[in-house]
Structure 1
């Protein structure tokens, strides 16, 4: 073997050693762990918002990141490679406050939530219990700071902690305190209310006259219900904030992950009998009947549709929800008169006010 061949062989072994040493598979202990910070996070097949939704994570779920591309994190779901948007994740390693000290930098007087939904915790870290929740656009007075966490006033007597990286400095008072607040403002202060807009995405719900889909009437109604509840001081958690599908088990799990005081599922009805008309409230557990009666009577006092009463039914989303819960059928989209009424903005506002008043009466 000549000198050149020996040199090539030596180079080959040296290169093999480098590859073996530095290109070993990444061990799990070296990977970054993230927590989902939004109420619902779509899991996609590719790192793109246009790719197929293959699953959904909910707030508090943890995942391990194997790579990052274009602002997307790659992880695994049911053994398959999937992608999630990084801006809805919080790195777990950065959440520990054991060694953190109070920041010397200035602390804002007020901050606004810029993430879709977050937990308010009892202390400055994710290892503390969630005591409340907040949604995008909510503003809070800041009274203290510890590391990357702000201590805020939840209401006039309670405080909590939120992650600073999920907020931005507020330049004006909260939009919840504007001139559109009704006279019963703040009567639901301190209560956590889950609003569940039924169906969505690939599930259109009932099909009414002229092909009207239930989900398309639910969406504007739920927006008005959310606004009225927040104007009354409630902390509102929403199971879906857009036109996408959420499994019934996940809707219940979202509610059960909070200290929920009431769960309200919004729907519209349909029937082959075109004369079927009116509003119905359903409950599953006998202990929830009082909530159903309060909301039903309050809605009927606001709207001009037939009162179909309060009925018991073992709907899965109600059975699996631990908080007091009801499912509302707010009119028949298969009935010409009902359909013309329920699509109007005035009716949807009346329903929203009825639900709000019903909850106030129930808690009082």
Structure 2
């Protein structure tokens, strides 16, 4: 009898433990939801930017997500899976370079959504590979870690600029070759001959 009560109490405890399911955060607007894992399957709906869905299954580059009614499949290229993200506790970054690109996903394949200015500060909400996921009141985006990490800035700041460098310009090879043509249409050999 005592053994049966222990087993019942233990199984009740096991059933009450919450189970964490992976979630997919959509990084693209109007992402097609299909009825199978591939582009050959019919579109059954669409997901919008920043929506989050519970993942049921994975197959190659596709995940099956839970919908209000049934399930659907989305391609992983345009989502962030929460198990892929490393949560960060109270980390902030400061932008060191003008026009630093912020993207809507953790890769240069994703669109640029904002150009950050020198001194801009952002809260980091997660890390995915070589990228920080950052947030503001206006948007959530991704920035390449090496563009904002302090140890990388020391290396790049000492090697940037043209100071103490020699610039050599090939004026052309003679004949009909005029050399480089400037943005304003000026021929390189005209500039060099006028000096």
Larger fraction in strand: 2
Normalised by the length of structure 1, the TM-score is 0.26
User: What TM-score, normalized by structure 2, do the two folds share?
Assistant: 0.45
